[in-house]
Amino acid sequence: MAIQISSELLDGCVLACLKDQDYYGYALTQRLQAAIKVSESTLYPVLRRLKKNGWVTTYDQAYQGRTRRYYQISSAGLTQLATIQTEWQTYYLAINQLLQGEDHR
């Protein structure tokens, strides 16, 4: 069984990767796949949505006769990442309590 990741959480994972450095699409996919199960076909719509929301910007750079499109987190993206991190912490604690059988009513 594979646990499905929500689009909001996937947004947060991408933004967290971009916080450390800019990535082109394939390299970002490889970075994410090292941690979670995500396909390239899943990632590109996420990147388009993040760009549409103003959370990432793009720039092109030549590499060995080809052009790579790099993604960079924006200041709005940093704000969104902080929001997702806070929400994740609350969600993680609640789910962990349930899965561990802890009762904190």
Q: What is the mean pLDDT of residues 18-36?
A: 94
Give the Cβ contact number of residue 20 at 10 Å: 9
In the prediction, which pLDDT does 104 show?
A: 58
61: exposed, middle or buried (C-beta count within 10 Å: 0-12, 13-18, 19+)?
exposed
pLDDT digit string, tens, across residues 48-84 = 999 999 999 999 999 999 999 999 999 999 999 999 9
**Residue in the structure block whose two tokens are 């490889």:** 30
Confidence of residue 40 (pLDDT cuts 50, 70, 90): confident
